Structure 1
Amino acid sequence: MTVTVAIGEFARLTHLSVKTLRYYHEIELLEPVAVDAGTGYRRYSVAQVERAHLIRRLRDLDMPVPQIRTVLAATEPAAREATLRDHLTRMEAELARTRAVVSSLRALLTVAPPPLRVDYRVEPAFTALTLTATVDRADIAAWCGTAFERLYVTLLEQGITPGGVAGATYSTQFFAEATGSVTAYVPLPPGAELAPARGLDVVDFPASRFAVAVHAGAFEDFDRTYGALGGHVAEHATALPDEPVRERYLIGPDRIDNPAEYRTEVCWPITEGAPR
């Protein structure tokens, strides 16, 4: 016969508070083996202690409840390992992002930004293979990764070499509303004949005038470059607020693994004519 204990004793055995155990019962993650119909008192089997220990460790790793259910339901060690490995990979990516943000914050508080070089130029017209979607700002890195992979794979499958530096355009709504239209593009070489690809479009970009600055490094302090360039434009030129900002990825994740070596042109749309 399996020995059972009251919820308070089970809390002492597992280092899970009574409040937590009640919550896990409510969400059916760790249910007591018996509940008294009159008093509502819960009793747990000592055989459940190991399961409780596993749940506590997974929660200490901030694993979401649905993934914990997957681990608990897995009968094969390989299935458990796969779920744990996926979660740890996400944690490592989040840790790397946190470190980058901390580094950016320290620089913001202690290091004066270098003088920003701003060039004014007219970007010539070009034709590009594009993918457009409404994207939340929080999802932009993942979306761009998927979008550019699809664009490059499509060109590769059709034997077409990109005709220039890839980039993306960001609508005003993307910044103002934290969600908006984004277009990823890869320029096509002159005369390229591209077979139709579902969800992708071939777009003619007209010649446009920009104030341009280069952002060096990762994207955690991208806002500083945007702020400096936008402020410069406000003082020395006339911006086109309804036109999308363009980014050109001179050196990006598709070419190098070290974010510190990324180089991105930020192209701020301005009116025709010389800067005022």
Structure 2
Amino acid sequence: MHTGMTVGEFSRATHLSVKTLRHYHDVALLTPADVDPVTGYRHYSPDQVPTAQVIVRLRNLDMPVADVKAVLAAEDVSTRNQLIAAHLARLENRLAQAQSAVESLRDLLARPVHGSTIEYRTVREQAAIGIREVVDRQDLAGWWQGALGELHGFTTARGLRTTGPMGGLFANELLEDEHGEALVFIPFDGEVRSVGRIGAVVVPGAELAVAVHRGTLQTIDLTYGDLGTHAARHEISVDGPLREFYLRSPLDVTSEDELVTEVGWPIFRASS
């Protein structure tokens, strides 16, 4: 005779469906106290109710089953709390990303119909110091920030006199194939010895359609959209790397709202 709780009773007591309890048994998250070898009926101990309640709350926080197992198996309170804190930090990061996406959508809906002001510009070949690397698109933001900081530290430490704002060149393949060459540079006219990733580079000249993007880089795709649309409508778009000039970079501001980035789209100009 079983003195425990039937699966139905345990389901009602824990607010976990019978289907969910069976799944948790199958993945060894919550194993019944007893399983009849003949009938296969599951019975749970009343002492398992608190464990089930913990599982419910962790799963309500979208914690993966494997992580829930690790929490339940933790040998001490400190380890358990570290696991939970790490998951909460991931949730907070996801919440911040969602809030950023909401703000970005609001900005898009409130954006003027005419979009960016676009001008044409001839950019001459420039001597510079830079960091050039083939990167995956998903790694681009982190790589870009690191390269900016490294170049800034290099020029500051050596007291170099730069001849223009920091900039970046991004191969079409970075967007089209999610993998391609990126270059972050600072114009500099003089001799420089390569150190680590930093070396002398020549930034090629180009004819560009240019628009200014103000604020967070989360919405810079809107400026790129304006430039690409303009170039397509006027049939002046040509192949070539996309170009950015950081008039106010993350190194210059305390808030992303203060960023100022010029975006250049390569074009054909007969008058050039």
TM-score, with length taken from structure 1:
0.79
SS of match in other structure, 1:144: helix
Amino acid across the alignment from 2:257: A
Quote the RMSD (CA, aligned, Å).
3.2
Partner of 2:257: 260
1:33 lines up with 2:33 in the alignment = yes
What's the CA shift string for 1:185-233, capped at 9, x where partnerless?
2426432212334xx7764322223211111222343332111111122
SS of match in other structure, 2:191: coil
Partner of 1:116: 116
Amino acid across the alignment from 1:267: G
Partner of 1:21: 21
**Count of residue pairs brought into register by the alignment:** 266
List alignment gaps of at least 5 residues for structure 1: none
TM-score, with length taken from structure 2:
0.80
SS of match in other structure, 2:59: helix
1:219 lines up with 2:220 in the alignment = no
Partner of 2:50: 50
1:248 lines up with 2:245 in the alignment = yes
8 A Cα contact 1:148 1:184, kept in partner: no
What's the CA shift string for 1:171-197, capped at 9, x where partnerless?
3333334x2214152426432212334
What's the CA shift for 1:238? 1.9
1:187 lines up with 2:186 in the alignment = yes
Distance 2:152 2:215 in 1: 28
The worse-fitting range, judged by mean Cα deviation, of 62-71 and 18-27 is: 62-71
1:209 lines up with 2:207 in the alignment = yes
What's the CA shift for 1:117? 1.8
Distance 1:108 1:157, change over 3 A: closer
What's the CA shift string for 1:76-130, capped at 9, x where partnerless?
3333333333322232232222223223323433542454222322153233332
User: Which runs of structure 2 are paired with 1:87-102 in the superposition (5 Å)?
Assistant: 87-102=87-102
SS of match in other structure, 2:217: coil
Amino-acid identity (%): 35
| Larger Rg belongs to | 2
Distance 1:130 1:67, change over 3 A: farther
1:230 lines up with 2:258 in the alignment = no
List alignment gaps of at least 5 residues for structure 2: none
Distance 1:16 1:221, change over 3 A: same
The worse-fitting range, judged by mean Cα deviation, of 5-14 and 161-170 is: 161-170
8 A Cα contact 1:161 1:188, kept in partner: no
What's the CA shift for 1:157? 7.2
SS of match in other structure, 1:221: helix
What's the CA shift for 1:12? 1.9
Distance 2:26 2:12 in 1: 20
Distance 1:5 1:210, change over 3 A: same
